[in-house]
Amino acid sequence: MGMMYGHLDANPHGAAGGRPAPYVRPSAFLNKILNPIMVALGRKTVLLVRGRKSGKVLKVPMDPPFEWNGTRFLVSPRGETHWARNLRAAGEADLRTRRRLEHVRVVELDGAERDAVVKTYASTITCNCRRSMQLLPDPADHPVFRIEPTAT
C-alpha cells in the first residue's frame, strides 16, 4: 500500500451499529516518525481525548477540523479509529491548533447528515487522507463528530 498509507483492516469490536468496522491502519513511518515531528514543530492539530479503557489523556495528531456551512466537524478519514472510538465514549476533548487550546464538546452524526459531511469532506481534502477515503468509499465507514458551540 505504500509507506504513508498503511493497510485496510477490520476492527473486530465493530462500530456503533455492531457491524465489523473497517479502518485504514496508518503506516509505522507515519505513526512513529512523521506525525511526532509535525506535532513537535507545531504543524499539526492535536486532539487530546481521554482513553475509553485506560482513562489516560491521549494525544492524537490530526488535520484541523473540517468547516462546512459555518459548522466545524471532526471526520475520521481512516474509518473506525481509536481516536474516534475514544471521542465517541468521552463526548468531549481538547483541540490544540498551533498554540491555541480549545475545549470542545461533540455530537456524533449518522445517516444522511453524516453522509453529506463525508461526501463534501472527501471532495475537498488534499492531504494523504484522500487515499484512505478511496479505500473506504462508504460514508458509513467514517465517524463524523459535529463540534458544538461552547459558552466563552
Please, what's the largest Cα pairwise distance for the chain? 44
3-state secondary structure of 107: strand
pLDDT digits 0-9 by tens, 33-58: 766 676 667 667 899 999 999 999 98
Query: Does the predicted TM-score (pTM) go above 0.75?
Result: yes
Q: How many CA atoms lie within 13 A of 142 on its CB side?
A: 29
Q: Which residue has the higher pLDDT, 98 or 25?
A: 98
Q: Which residue has the higher pLDDT, 21 or 105?
A: 105
- Asked whether the beta carbons of 132 and 79 are under 8 A apart, the reply is yes
- Asked whether the beta carbons of 25 and 31 are under 8 A apart, the reply is no
As assigned by CATH, the class of the 25-148 domain is mainly beta
